[in-house]
Amino acid sequence: MFAKNLKITIAHLYPKLLNIYGDRGNIITLVNRCKWRNIEVTVDSIDAGDNIDEDKYDIYFIGGGQDQQQIQVAGELQKQKEKLFNAAQSNSVFLAICGGYQLLGHYYQPHDADRLEGIGILDAFTVAGKKRFIGNVTAKLLSENTNGELKTLVGFENHSGLTYLQGDTKPIATILTGNGNNGSDKTEGARYKNVFGTYLHGSLLPKNPHFADFLLSLALEKRYGEKIELQKLDDKFEIAAHNSLVNKKY
Ligand code: GLN
Distances 116 to 36, 74, 104, 107, 211 between C-alpha atoms, Å = 39, 6, 11, 5, 29
Q: How far from the centroid of its chain's Cα atoms is residue 10's Cα?
A: 13
pLDDT of residue 86: 97
**Strand runs labelled E in 77-178:** 93-97, 107-109, 116-117, 124-141, 152-165, 173-177
Atom of ligand 1 nearest to the CA of 65: 8
In this prediction, the residues of the chain whose per-residue pLDDT falls under 50 are 1
pLDDT of residue 147: 82
| CA 159 to centroid of ligand 1, rounded, Å | 4
| CA 217 to centroid of ligand 1, rounded, Å | 29
pLDDT of residue 4: 77
The finding on whether 25 has its CB within 6 A of some atom of ligand 1 is: no
DSSP summary character for residue 31: H
Active site residue 34: no
d(CA 67, CA 86): 27
pLDDT of residue 2: 59
What residue's CA is closest to ligand 1, atom 5? 99
pTM (2 d.p.): 0.97
> Is the CB of residue 193 less than 8 Å from the CB of residue 161?
no
